[in-house]
Amino acid sequence: MIRKVFIKLFFTFLLFTEANSVIEVDITRGNLNPLPVAVSPLFSDENTNKKLKNNFEIIQLGEKISEVVENNLKTTGLFNPIEKKAFLQKPDVAHLKPRFEDWALIKSQALVTGQIKLENEKLRVEFRLWDVLAGKEILALAFTTVPKNWRRVGHIISDKIYERLTGEKGYFDTRIIYVAEQGPKTKRIKKLAIMDQDGFNTKYLTLGNELVLTPRFNPTNQMVTYLSYFKNLPRVYLLDIETGIQEVVGDFPGMTFAPRFSPDGKKIIMSFAKDGNSEIFTMDLETRLVERITNHPSIDTSPSYSPDGKYITFNSDRSGFQQIYTMKSDGTNVKRISFGKGLYGTPVWSPRGDLIAFTKLHKGKFYIGVMRTDGKGERLLTENYYQEAPSWSPNGRVLIFYRETKTDDKGEGFSARLWSIDLTGYNERQISTETDGSDPSWSSLLTN
Amino acid sequence: MYKSVLISTGLHVFIIIFTLLSLPFIVKKPLDLPPIISVELIQIKDKTNIPFAPKAKKIIEKIKEDEKLVSEQAPPKKVKKIKPDAIPLPDQKVEKIKKIEEKQNPEIDDNKIKQVSEFEKKEIFNPNDIAALIDKSKENLAETNIKNKKITQSQDKSMDISGLTLSEEDALKAQIFGCWSIPLGLPYNENLLVRIKLKLKPDGTIIDSEIIDHARMNMPGQNFYRVLAESALRAIQLCQPLRVPSTGYERWKDLQLNFDAREMLEG
């Protein structure tokens, strides 16, 4: 009897499992095409338009903000903004209730709509992000600011859209500090310049009387440390961007260079060279205490902290050739991590903490590449005649660096421009600057 | 003495007769063995959907009762219309039938022997009925198609539930590959497998889609998973109607797609 019951149960179980088995198909490939996005102009009524024109001399602000967003998304290489001429629905109606069929018809998969209002001389910008194929709103935010800040609003909107559609933080509401260069190669005037990441709103921080190099932001983006040849003595300086006050970092009896802030902004790490030897030092900005980190008869330079501040990467020729090393922040546990052919330099730890970017010189060509923090998985992203000094975007996805062109036989044709490349190595772009530029450094996000 | 010689002779005769009768090679001619036929097994399907013989026999008998016999293996294709002004002569008629016979079984290649189930050979295929089949297919082409579907439905019900064949799966995958824009910013070292259950209509359009690990989408720190899940849903929406098999709806009406971007992101 019991046996029969067990047999019945067994067959019932078999039938049940068979009846419920669902066919599974593994999708392991897709396309890497940029996502088609429609960025509709932000709607503003007649009254707002009049006020903006009369009081602030701004016209067509809705279109301008949408252009900023569109341009930002396009430069990532991850999105493909659709031509506005193809839009079938007007901005005001689209913002209230998009006709998803119309947007799907022009192959859009995401839609950005919005409207602007002027309330008590303050600009209120609201936007919505729609999933066209799912037919639903996936993000809606509003910002209030002074009208002249409209470009930043465009960048913040871009960051929010980027984050919602990719899962990682954006990098549009950021600034880039760099060395603006003018004049012939032999008599170059170099000034510190700061601009938005898209090349707008450039401001010059120094007059160009002294040679300046390697500017770096602090984590709050208010201070900059850089190398200046004031009175022909190369030293590390600290500059407050808001007040313009600058000071020498430390009282070293020789040349200090390659400065960089620690992740908490409390220390500056730099190289100090004397008698042909170069060592890495830190200086506490509050106590002004100087600490020696490396102690080796070779040249140790270009230090960069890991995002948690526990490790430092630097380059050294202690092996006979310039290679990349890591060590603990107190200078112990030094490990060589680069073993490829050629010379490695300017290592920079990614804000994500997973990669180290570097410049590599091999067979007369310069490469910008990345490797894991243990030195494995080296990938060269771009190759050129001369390029160096990579700096990470705050989300650790894009690198900015500078590239110089060869001079011709007459000594002309030299230029230095800023370029960016993403981690895929495919999305390489020149960043527009008013003058030639070098030594770029990316700020962290201005708003979180 | 004489007696023992007789017994010995008798026994010898018995042994000789016994030997002649029991050992066949002595009396029978050697077998005329046919030449060895090489069989090339063309494996185009991971799992075939050919039902095994006893069940299939029942199905065929059931179909015979309906007096409409159509083979699933050889679906009637469009027969060229014979122009009314080109009436064939009696001599040409035989040739026409031969030609059409070839069209009825387009997959049969004389040079290759393919794996065919027994019941089809014996019960479906009858060369004498070709002409009759052609006539019927000409008259009731639309009706035949409907019947054809009915047959597969009934077959499927009696079949064990099995997966899609390799070719069916490949067709579906190829379609979704084209629709799925993988978010490039995803980290490749995280477990980002998105499993989506679909309920489908017979034409491949989606009745319902459900993310199996839906709760994970709204968990903190799972932004990447949500982005990947949404991209997968977009791909499904973009692709529908899905390129599903024209038969066997019961098999695939519930389908699970597992989206895994690691292979692509690792490069």
For A262, the token pair is 């620690």
pLDDT of residue B261: 83
Residue in B with minimal Cα distance to A107:
B238
Chain A contact probe: residue of B157, B162, B170, B184 with most A CBs at under 10 A: B184
Residue A167 pLDDT more than 80? yes
Q: What is the mean pLDDT of residues A303-313?
A: 96
Output B87 or A290, whichever has higher pLDDT.
A290
> Is B234 close to A133, i.e. CB distance below 8 A?
yes
Task: Pick the closest to residue A283 from A301, A296, A266, A303 (CA basis).
Answer: A266
CA distance A178 to A432: 12
- Comparing A215-229, A326-340, A400-414, B67-81, the range with the smallest average pLDDT is B67-81
Instruction: Find the residue in A nearest to B221 (Cα).
Output: A167
ipTM of the complex: 0.77
Size of interface A-B (CB pairs under 8 A): 112
Question: What distance in Å separates residue A105's CA from the closest CA in chain B?
Answer: 11
pLDDT band for A190, please (50, 70, 90 cuts).
Answer: very high
Pick the CATH number of A175-442 from 3.40.50.1370, 1.10.10.10, 3.40.50.300, 2.120.10.30: 2.120.10.30
**How confident is the model at residue A366, as a pLDDT?**
96
Specify the range with the lowest mean pLDDT, choosing from A153-167, B21-35, B200-214: B21-35
The domain made up of B166-266 is a member of CATH 3.30.1150.10: yes
Domain A35-166 has CATH 3.40.50.10070: yes
Listed in order, strand segments (DSSP E) in A95-174 are: 110-119, 122-131, 136-145
Stretch(es) of chain A classified as CATH 3.40.50.10070? 35-166
pLDDT in tens, A336-380: 999 989 999 999 999 999 999 999 999 999 999 999 999 999 999
Other beta carbons within 10 Å of B119 = 19
Q: Given an 8 Å threshold on Cβ–Cβ distance, is B238 in contact with A133? A: yes
The pLDDT value given to residue B87: 43
Mean of the per-residue pLDDT values for chain B? 67
Q: Which residue has the tokens 């998304």?
A: A73
Alpha helices in chain B (DSSP H): 2-22, 24-27, 53-65, 90-104, 118-119, 130-139, 141-158, 166-179, 214-217, 223-239, 249-252, 262-266
Model confidence at B3: pLDDT above 50:
yes
Rounded CA gap, A444 and A176, in Å?
Answer: 9
Q: What is the per-residue pLDDT across B69-125, written as a single tens digit (0 to 9) for each?
A: 444 444 444 444 444 444 444 444 444 444 444 444 444 444 444 444 444 444 444
Q: What is the pLDDT of residue A253?
A: 83
Interface residue B227 vs chain A (CB under 8 A): yes
List every span in chain A annotated with CATH 2.120.10.30. 175-442
Q: Which of A176-180, B158-162, B174-178 has the lowest mean pLDDT?
A: B158-162
Q: Tell me, what DSSP letter sits at residue B121?
A: I
Residue A12: its pLDDT value, please?
54
Of B180, B185, B260, the CB nearest to A26: B260
pLDDT band at A9 (very low <50, low <70, confident <90, very high): low
Q: Kindly state the tokens that stand for A381.
A: 């992203």
* Single-letter code of the amino acid located at A174: T
Mean pLDDT, rounded, for B137-153? 44
